[in-house]
Structure 1
Amino acid sequence: MELFAVPDLPEIRDGDDLAAMIDERVDLREDDVIVVASTVVSKAEGRVFDLDDFPASERAEAIADRLAEIAGEEKDPRFAQAVIEESTELITEAPFLLTATRFGHIGVNAGIDRSNVPGGDLLLLPERPSESAERIREGLGADRVVVSDTCGRPFRHGQRGVAIGWAGMPASRDWRGERDRDGREMGVTVQNVIDELASAANLVAGEGDGGTPVVVVRDWAFGDHDGSDNHFREPEGDFVRQALRQWTFDG
């Protein structure tokens, strides 16, 4: 397959038609997958805010004080309040805020970004990323769109691209029931393809001031597999989340 960034996109602002801006800069094919960074989706959807939009509650003040004690530097309780309001659950409150968003994604600080936010202090994730992906897909007349973000992973250093929204394709392909090279039937393998596409696209899009937030994946095929839209684990089956709820940071 081939991956390439859509060139010459300007700074995205509230109300911009992302689909139209992409369409006028690249000739898309019917089976392309378009991977769009959540940052530009959020900007187009007006998700830029100031810290003053989040007056700190007593809980936010307490969280900020605790994080400041751990980090040895001041923490703004208004930021903690923004995280609280963007989350359905604070899974851990120390040594960092690990949160569950309204749409099911688990990450640090509810995915709130403080980099590359002209006109504001905070960039919040899209409220409903899969609906955003569907709007972009319809605007482009494309088959498949993935909205991506970057986040860390347990047991690994660094961040990678992950999918937080998608449209026009299943989230995963199911290998269960198929045979390996030795003829054994596979019983557990379900491949999360939207995360893999988001991660591959992030290698092309880059980080920092690259300015290439949209990547086209060409000549990739889902294959003759069953598909599933299961992406985020349900809390009752997420044993790591359940364990973290019981864990207390002692540092």
Structure 2
Amino acid sequence: MSQMLQVWSVDGIGEVAPGDDLAAIVVRSLTGPAGTSLEDGDVVVVASKVVSKAEGRVVRGDDREAAITAETVRVVATRETDGKTLRIVENKLGLVMAAAGVDASNTPEGTVLLLPEDPDASARALRARIAEATGRTVGVVVSDTVGRPWRSGVTDIAIGAAGVVVLDDLRGRPDASGRVLTGTVVAVADQLAAATELVRGKADAAPVAVVRGAAHWVSAEDGPGARSAVRPSDEDMFRTGSTEAYDAGYDAGYDDAVDETRDPAYRAGYEQGFADGEAQAESAEMV
């Protein structure tokens, strides 16, 4: 059975400033003369940048490093590039991102933007306002741009969601050959966000888009939100960068090795194991 998705950007959003009624702007642009009427089951995807602007998440540009530190829960990796320090961190939303998601692109001169404080709440509020104004049941996704391990380039993901199936768990269902799927969980909200980036663009000032044809992933309830897609720490196989993991292991090994209260046999075994692990780590590609 063939399926089709339609994706288009929404004109007329314009520049958004702190305190603006973003929901009213979006509804007006969607339903005005230049807009396309919404249908039940449509998904409205909104760039986090305009959500942050409307919510006043703007700080001075010279406070960027301090803002990154304030938004950081845990440092994952630090790299020096062209004389600048790049920090990959886990932020307050549980997202692992460069610079904690603090953004200096497409912002007023001398300012940077923080991510929305609660993107899921922002998505719920926007969805409710759209339903009130149009009578339509739609899904809403708040998207942001991230890099990806193992892949070059950036893409958009869902950092906020309401009324959308965020993860479609196919485990236990048969595939086309009748085999039972054991590990397939589809990141639906992320894929919807990524699809709209193709029509919104980074430099086109089109922060809102609509996806049609995904009604089977739109729910009457708001749902758990995009936060549900954040992998729990005990399931995270790449909790830190390899250089940071090596350094932490080295420090722990060094401290234990010089601890004279340890049993000599333990120390001998530990030192040999550490030496073997060090040799293997040196032969592996460092991130």
Per the shorter chain, which TM-score range?
Answer: 0.7 to 0.9
2:108 maps to amino acid: P
Judge conservation of contact 2:91–2:100 (CA < 8 Å) in 1: yes
Question: Compared with structure 1, are the counterparts of its residues 29 and 223 closer, same or farther at alpha carbon in structure 2 (3 Å cutoff)?
Answer: closer
2:68 to 55, 71, 83: 83
- The structure with the greater share of residues assigned to helix is 2
Q: Structure 1 residues 243, 11: closer, same or farther in 2, change over 3 A?
A: closer
**1:217 corresponds to which letter in structure 2?**
V
Distance 1:217 1:228, change over 3 A: same
Which residue matches 2:256?
none
Distance 1:132 1:216, change over 3 A: same
- The alpha-carbon distance between structure 1 residues 38 and 228, as it changes in their structure 2 partners (threshold 3 A), is closer
Q: TM-score, normalised by structure 1?
A: 0.82
The one-letter amino acid paired with 2:105 is: S
Partner amino acid for 1:152? Answer: G
Residue 213 (str. 1) matches residue 213 (str. 2): no
Does the 8 Å CA contact 1:171/1:194 hold for their aligned counterparts?
A: yes
Pairwise mapping of residues 9-20 of structure 1 onto structure 2 (< 5 A)?
Answer: 9-20=13-24
Match of 2:189 in 1: 194
Offset at residue 91 of structure 1 (A): 1.3
Q: How many percent of aligned residue pairs carry the same amino acid?
A: 39
| Structure 1 residues 24 and 51: alpha-carbon distance in aligned structure 2, compared to 1, 3 A threshold | closer
CA distance in 2, matches of 1:80, 1:118: 18
1:33 paired to 2:33:
no
SS in 2 for 1:137: helix
Q: Does residue 1:246 correspond to 2:245, yes or no?
A: yes
Q: Secondary structure at the match of 1:164?
A: strand
Deviations 1:24-81 (A, max 9, x none): 12221121100000000000000111035x4xxxxxxxxxxxxxxxxxxxxxxxx322
Pairwise CA distance, 1:221: 3.3
Alpha-carbon RMSD across the aligned residues, in angstroms, is: 2.3
Q: CA deviation at 1:228?
A: 7.6
Greater relative contact order (Cα < 8 A, sep 6+): 1
Ranges in structure 2 where 5+ consecutive residues have no aligned partner: 31-36, 81-85, 132-136, 248-285
- Write the distance in 2 (CA, Å) between the matches of 1:153 and 1:132: 25
Unaligned runs of 5+ in 1: 55-78
User: Could you tell me which residue of structure 2 aligns to residue 179 of structure 1?
Assistant: 174
Q: Find the residue that maps to 1:20 and give its secondary structure.
A: helix
Q: How does 1:102-141 map to 2 (within 5 A)?
A: 102-118=92-108, 120-141=110-131
Does the 8 Å contact 1:49/1:122 carry over to 2?
Answer: yes
- The AA in structure 2 aligned to 1:81 is A
Q: CA deviation at 1:104?
A: 1.1
TM-score, structure 2 normalization: 0.72
Distance 1:126 1:49 in 2: 13
> Aligned pair in 2 of structure 1 residues 8, 228: CA closer, same or farther (>3 Å)?
closer
